[in-house]
């Protein structure tokens, strides 16, 4: 049996799909995970546009806001800026157990595929790959171009999980939240974090 990770790096970038990222954060904290959160400036713009969330640019202020939002959950949270190179996730000597980029822009995906490591998100992903830790990217784009597909194939060959947010309908969703939970459940399954978001296939048919 695979042990549940106790430290997960979560990155929110500027692709559409912030409800997935926010719900994922909530579920990680609910499971008692220690979360390292990394947010791009475009990610903050998308959070405001899609969810009305005003995310401060200063990591300490953002951490305080999110800790207050989920104060009753057992998990813990640290937030780091894009250039905080002394963050734990920047070094292979202290990597998180898993990393998820959700939502993931195609620009971020391409940079990870090329090993750019020009900011903390790219560096943390590079560390995850080189240390053999689970890395899940949730790319929100349609349609995929040949370039997108080639970058995804390059990463998949390295063991990175490509998990586009494509909800199923066999659980008969009634709300948008049901669709979001379907995708978040699949992400949590990939990093072996327990959840009760929806019935398993054999339990739902």
Report CA-CA distances (Å) from 198 to 31, 182, 185.
15, 7, 7
- What pLDDT does residue 204 have? 54
pLDDT of residue 5: 79
Task: Specify whether the backbone of 172 is left (phi greater than 0), alpha (psi in -120 to 50) or beta.
Answer: left
Q: Are 112 and 152 in contact (CB under 8 A)?
A: no
Cβ proximity of 98 and 16 under 8 Å: no
Adjacent-strand bridge partners of 99: 9, 135
Give me the pLDDT at residue 2, please: 61
| The pLDDT of residue 151 | 98
Model confidence pTM above 0.75: yes
CATH architecture of the domain covering 7-204: 3-Layer(aba) Sandwich (3.40)
Coil, strand or helix at 162: strand
DSSP 201: H
DSSP secondary structure of 98-147: EEEEEEE-HHHHHHHHTT---SHHHHHHHHHHHTT-EEEEEE--SSPPHH
Report which DSSP code applies to 12. E
Which parts of the chain sit beneath pLDDT 50? 1, 205
pLDDT for 1: 46
Give the pLDDT of residue 18.
Answer: 98
What helix, strand, coil percent values describe the chain, rounded to 5?
40, 15, 40
The CA distance from 24 to 73, in Å, is 13
Per-residue pLDDT of 97-128, as tens digits, reads 999 999 999 999 999 999 999 999 999 999 99
Cα–Cα distance measured from residue 98 to residue 84, given in angstroms and rounded to the nearest whole number: 19
The two beta strands, 34-39 and 134-139, are unpaired
Strands (E) located in the chain: 7-12, 34-39, 76-80, 98-104, 134-139, 161-162
Cα(47)–Cα(12) distance, integer angstroms: 9
């Amino acid at each position: 049996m695979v042990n549940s990770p106790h430290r997960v790096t979560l990155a929110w970038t500027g692709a559409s799909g912030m409800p997935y990222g926010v719900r994922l954060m909530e579920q990680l904290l609910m499971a008692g995970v220690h979360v390292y959160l990394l947010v791009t400036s475009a990610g903050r713009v998308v959070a405001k546009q899609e969810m009305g969330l005003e995310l401060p640019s200063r990591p300490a202020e953002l951490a305080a806001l999110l800790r207050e939002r989920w104060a009753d959950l057992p998990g813990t949270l640290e937030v780091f800026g894009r250039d905080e190179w002394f963050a734990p996730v920047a070094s292979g000597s202290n990597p998180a157990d898993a990393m998820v980029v959700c939502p993931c822009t195609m620009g971020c995906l391409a940079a990870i595929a090329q090993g750019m490591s020009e900011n903390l998100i790219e560096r943390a992903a590079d560390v995850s790959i080189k240390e053999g830790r689970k890395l899940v990217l949730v790319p929100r784009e349609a349609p995929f171009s040949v370039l997108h597909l080639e970058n995804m194939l390059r990463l998949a060959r390295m063991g990175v999980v490509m998990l586009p947010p494509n909800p199923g309908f066999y659980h008969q969703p009634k709300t948008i939240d049901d669709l979001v939970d379907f995708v978040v459940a699949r992400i949590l399954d990939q990093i072996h974090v327990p959840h009760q978001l929806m019935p398993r296939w054999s339990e739902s048919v």
